[in-house]
Amino acid sequence: MQARDYLVVAEYAALLMFAAVFALLVLGYPVALTLAGTALIAAGIGTLTGIFEPSFLFATPNRLFGIMTNQTLIAVPLFILMGVTLERSRIAERLLDAMSRAFGGLPGGLGIAVTLVGMLMAASTGIVGATVVTMGLMSLPTMLKANYDKTLATGAICATGTLGQIIPPSIALVLLGDVIANAYQQAQLNMGIFNPKAVSVGDLFAGAVFPGLILVAMYLTYIVVLSVLKPSAAPPMESAESVSTREMLMSILPPLALIIAVLGSILSGVATPTEAAAVGAAGATLLAVVSRSIDLNGFLDVCLSTTRTTSMVFFILIGASIFSLVFRGYGGDDLVHGIFEQMPGGVIGATLVVMVVIFLLGFILDFIEITFVVVPIVGPVLLAMGLDPIWLGIMIAINLQTSFLTPPFGFALFYLRGVAPESVSTLDIYRGVVPFIVLQIVMLLLLAWQPWLATWLPDRIF
C-alpha cells in the first residue's frame, strides 16, 4: 500500500472511531471508558498495521497533568457543591411558596412564579437535571391543583429547568468556556498567530447574560399571552394568600444575593470564575447553616453527591482527552477541516451543519460528552474560519438547551417524567414543550442575526 493510501485509511479510521463510540454509547456502555477504550483499541490496531504513530500517545501524561493543574476546572466541584447545597437547603421551596402567594391571584400568576423561581434556581445550581426534578416535585402538584393546563405546567417546568445551560453561573458554561478557550488558541496557532488572544469563562458568562434574560422574557410573555387568550389554561389561584413584604424579601434576597456575589464578582473583574465559585460554595453553605435546613448527615450527603458528580465529569474529561489525542493522530482534524472547506455556503454552511449535528447528538449524549468530544474537534476549524468564540459558545449552549427539550429523547423530558404523577401523560409533556422549543429556536435565529447580543457585554466589560 502506498503512503497516500495509508493516509486515506488513517483519516477514515478517525471517522470509524466516532461511529464506534456512538454505537457503544447507544448500547449503554459507560461514557468515559467507551471514549478511552475505543481510542486505545484504535491506536493499537493502527500501530500494528502501520497507519498510526504510537508516539502520539506519549503526550497522554502531559494532557492528564494539564487537566489536574487547570485552574479554571477547579470551579467545577465548587459550583457543583454550591448547587447541591442550595438544592438540599429548601431555599427554592420557600421562594416558590412566597412567589406563588404573591402572583397566584393573577391569571397566569403561578406560571410566572414558577418561571422566575426556575430562573433563580438555574442561576444558583447550574445543573439541568437538579432544577427540573426539584421544580417538578415542588411546583407541578401545585399547578395541577390550581387547574392549570397540564401541557402548560409541564412545558414551563421543563423549559425553565433547562435555563441552567445558559444562565450563568452555569457548569455547562464553565466546561464549554474552557474548551472554547483551548480551541480558539489552537485555531490562532494554526493560522500562524503566535501571540494568540485569550478567551475566558468570564467572557462566556458575560456573553450569556443578555440571551438568558431574553429567553426568560420570552417565556413570561408566552405565559401571560396564553393566560389572556385562554384563561382556562392558567387560571388564578382561588385560595391565593397574601404575602408580606418582609417574607418576600427574606425568601428572595438570599439566593439573589448569592447570585449577584458570584456573577457580579466575575463580571466586575474582582474575582476569577474559580474564586467566585469558592465564594458561591461558601455562601450556599452559610445560607444552609443560618436557615438550619441541613444537619450534619445532610452535609455529608451533599459532599458525597458533589464528589460523585465531580468524579464523573473529570473521568469523562480524561477519556475524551485520550480520544481526541488518537483522533488527531489519525489526521481527523485535517479531515474535518477539509470537509468544512468543501461544504457549500462556506462558514455559514459549516456552522449550520455543526449546529444540526450537535442538536441531534444532544438526544443521546449529555452536554459534558458533547463539550469534551465534539467541540474540541469542530471548534478550532470554525474559529479559524472567522467565527467569534464567545458567539459560538453561546450558540452551542442554547442549541444544547433546545435539544434537551425536544421530544422524544430530550433529557429534561425524562427528568420530569420520572417525578410527574400518573395523571400527567408523556404526551402531555411532549405537547407542553413545543411552544418553548419554538421560542428557543427564535432565540437562536435572533442571535445568528444579531451576534452583538452575545458579544457586546464581554467587549464592554473585559
Residue 256 CA from chain centroid, whole number: 21
d(CA 223, CA 231) in angstroms, rounded, equals: 11
The model's pTM:
0.83
The answer as to whether 78 is a domain residue is yes
The answer as to whether 207 is a domain residue is yes
Element holding 209 (H helix, E strand): helix 201-229
The span from the first CA to the last CA of the chain, in angstroms, equals 54
For residue 451, what are the domain limits? 56-319+329-461
The answer as to whether 65 is a domain residue is yes
d(CA 239, CA 251) in angstroms, rounded, equals: 20
C-alpha cell at 353: 451543519
Residue pointed to by grid coordinates 450558540 = 395
d(CA 301, CA 25) in angstroms, rounded, equals: 29
C-alpha cell at 423: 395523571
C-alpha cell at 361: 447528538
The answer as to whether 2 is a domain residue is no
C-alpha cell at 285: 453553605
C-alpha cell at 415: 427528568
* Residue 194 per-residue DSSP state: S
**Contact assessment for residue 40 and residue 326, using Cβ atoms and an 8 Å cutoff:** yes
Instruction: Show pLDDT as tens, one digit a residue, over the chain (462 residues).
Output: 444 555 556 667 778 888 888 788 778 788 788 888 998 998 888 888 888 888 888 888 888 888 888 887 888 888 888 878 877 777 777 777 788 777 777 888 888 888 888 888 777 666 666 678 778 888 888 888 888 899 999 999 989 888 878 888 778 888 888 889 888 888 887 777 767 777 888 889 899 999 999 999 999 999 999 998 998 888 887 665 677 777 777 878 888 888 888 888 888 878 888 888 888 889 888 888 887 778 888 889 988 988 888 888 888 888 888 888 888 888 777 777 777 777 777 788 888 988 988 888 877 677 777 888 888 888 888 888 888 999 999 999 999 888 888 887 777 888 888 888 888 888 999 999 999 999 999 999 999 999 999 999 998 886
The answer as to whether 399 is a domain residue is yes
301, 302, 303, 304: CA torsion to nearest 10 = 50
C-alpha cell at 93: 421551596
Render 223-287 in DSSP notation, one character per residue.
HHHHHHH-GGGSPPPTTPPP--HHHHHHHHHHHHHHHHHHHHHHHTTSS-HHHHHHHHHHHHHHH
CA 31, 11, 54: angle at the middle one, nearest 5?
70
Alpha-carbon distances of 49 from 244, 334, 335, rounded to whole Å: 75, 21, 20
**Contact assessment for residue 432 and residue 152, using Cβ atoms and an 8 Å cutoff:** yes
The answer as to whether 12 is a domain residue is no
The answer as to whether 39 is a domain residue is no
C-alpha cell at 235: 387560571
The answer as to whether 24 is a domain residue is no
* Residue 59 per-residue DSSP state: G
Name the 3-class secondary structure at 410. Answer: coil
Please give the tally of structural domains in the chain. Answer: 1
